[in-house]
Structure 1
Amino acid sequence: MELKRRNRISAEFSMASMTDIIFLLLIFFMITSSAISQSAIDVKLPKADATETSAQDPTTVTIKEDGSYFVNDKPIPKENLENLLTSTLKNEANPTFTIRADGNTKHKDVVFVMEIAEKHKYNLAIATTQE
Structure 2
Amino acid sequence: MELKRRNRVNAEFSMASMTDIIFLLLIFFMITSSAISQSAIDVKLPKADATNVSAQDPSTVTINPEGKYFVNDKEVPKEQLENVLVNALKDEANPTFTIRADENTRHKDVVFVMGIAEIHKFNLAIATIQEN
TM-score interval, smaller chain? 0.5 to 0.7
2:110 corresponds to 1:110 = yes
The one-letter amino acid paired with 1:94 is N
The one-letter amino acid paired with 1:125 is A
In structure 1, the residue matched to 2:83 is 83
Note the C-alpha offset of 1:130.
Answer: 1.4
In structure 2, the residue matched to 1:66 is 66
Alignment of 1:1-131 (within 5 A): 57-131=57-131
Q: Deviations over 1:47-68 (max 9, x none)?
A: xxxxxxxx96420000000000
Identity in percent: 76
Gaps of 5+ in 2: 1-10, 12-54
RMSD: 3.2
When the two structures are aligned, how many residues end up with a matched partner?
95
Q: Secondary structure at the match of 2:104?
A: coil
In structure 2, the residue matched to 1:36 is none
Higher helix share: 1
| CA gap 1:56/1:101 in 2 versus in 1, 3 angstroms | closer
Higher RCO (CA < 8 A, seq sep 6+): 2
Gaps of 5+ in 1: 1-10, 12-54
Q: Retained in 1: the 8 A contact 2:60–2:71?
A: yes
Q: Retained in 1: the 8 A contact 2:95–2:122?
A: yes
Q: Retained in 1: the 8 A contact 2:66–2:105?
A: yes
With the length of structure 1 as denominator, give the TM-score of the two structures. 0.58
Q: Which has the larger radius of gyration?
A: 1
The one-letter amino acid paired with 1:115 is G
Q: Secondary structure at the match of 2:128?
A: coil
Q: Retained in 1: the 8 A contact 2:57–2:98?
A: no
Note the C-alpha offset of 1:113.
Answer: 0.1
With the length of structure 2 as denominator, give the TM-score of the two structures. 0.58
